[in-house]
Each structure stands twice: as structure tokens, then as C-alpha cells.
Amino acid sequence: MQKTKVTISILLVVVTGAAAIGDTPSVAYPSSYRNWQHVKSMIIEPSHSLADPFEGIHHVYGNAKAMQGLAAGQYKRGAVFVFDLLAIEEVDATVAEADRKRIDVMEYDAERFAETGGWGFVTFVGDSTTERLEQDVVTACYACHVAAKPSAYVFSKYRK
């Protein structure tokens, strides 16, 4: 009986610890996103107000639930978009893709990410699948996406 009590106490500590870390719910690295549907692309030039940090060419990819949501105008749990940002280089009258700068991921879960419109945000640095950019996602991501609230906080529009 004594032993059982101790075990329960240890478990409680572990669970409490996890809850504390869970104050910022995490978004996983989207391992297969390069196989997802390509939604659209855009180049942000050096003189753009968001050039720091978004200068370069970005491609937006969506998983199946994200594409369904984009068509419906509302999202279900598990919808994920990736904003894949590459540096660009001008070569012989072309603008070509260069190194990956970062990927920004937004994942929908109305419960887990209730404080930021139902979307969780994370940035992975360069090609890393593990190195997350340390940032306050409320100011770094959500504050800007609020402008797209009428389209469920998603800037991309569906294009054929």
C-alpha cells in the first residue's frame, strides 16, 4: 500500500510537469509536406515590410484536411499548412530557388490552440526537422494572421 502511494505521487509529478510544458502546445514537424499539394507561391522582395524574415520565394503546401478546409472556408482538427521559404538567386535572367531559410507550420486544433484562433504555429530553421525558432507565436504569427480572420486565419486562397 505504501509502495502504491509513492508510485502515484511520482506519476502526479510527471503529469504536472508535462502540463507545465504543455502551456505552449507543440506542433510536430510535418515530415511529408513536400508530397502535399502545392497551393501557391510568391516572392517577397527586399523592400517589403515583411522582408525580415520572409524575403525570398515561398511555397505554401496543404495536407488533405487543409485542402478540404480551404475549399470549405473552415477547418477540422489535423489540417496543416506549411509556408516553405527558400532564398532566391538571380542567374542569367532567371530567379532560381536557393537554400531553404525556414518552414512555418500552422496546424488546426480548436481545443489545443484555442488561444490563437484554433491554429498552432511553429517555425523550423533551415532544413532542420528539430530546431525550432524560439519566438512568441502570439506576436510573431497569430497577430498577423488575425487580419485573415474572415478566411479562418488563412491567407492563401485556392487557385486552380
Burial class (CB in 10 A: 0-12, 13-18, 19+), 122: buried
Contact between 110 and 119 under an 8 Å Cβ cutoff? The reply is no
Min separation Cβ 130 and a second copy, Å: 15
Neighbours of 18 (CB within 10 A): 9
Q: Does 44 bind a second copy (CB under 8 A)?
A: yes
Min separation Cβ 40 and a second copy, Å: 6
Which of 51, 144, 146, 147 binds a second copy (CB under 8 A)? It is 51
Q: Does 45 bind a second copy (CB under 8 A)?
A: yes
Min separation Cβ 149 and a second copy, Å: 21
Contact between 151 and 73 under an 8 Å Cβ cutoff? The reply is yes
CA–CA–CA angle 26, 52, 154 (5° rounding): 50
Q: In DSSP terms, which residues pair with 40 in a beta bridge?
A: 60
Q: Does 48 bind a second copy (CB under 8 A)?
A: yes
Q: Does 157 bind a second copy (CB under 8 A)?
A: no
Interacting residues with a second copy (CB under 8 A): 34-35, 37-38, 40-49, 51, 57, 59, 61, 92-97, 100, 127, 159-160
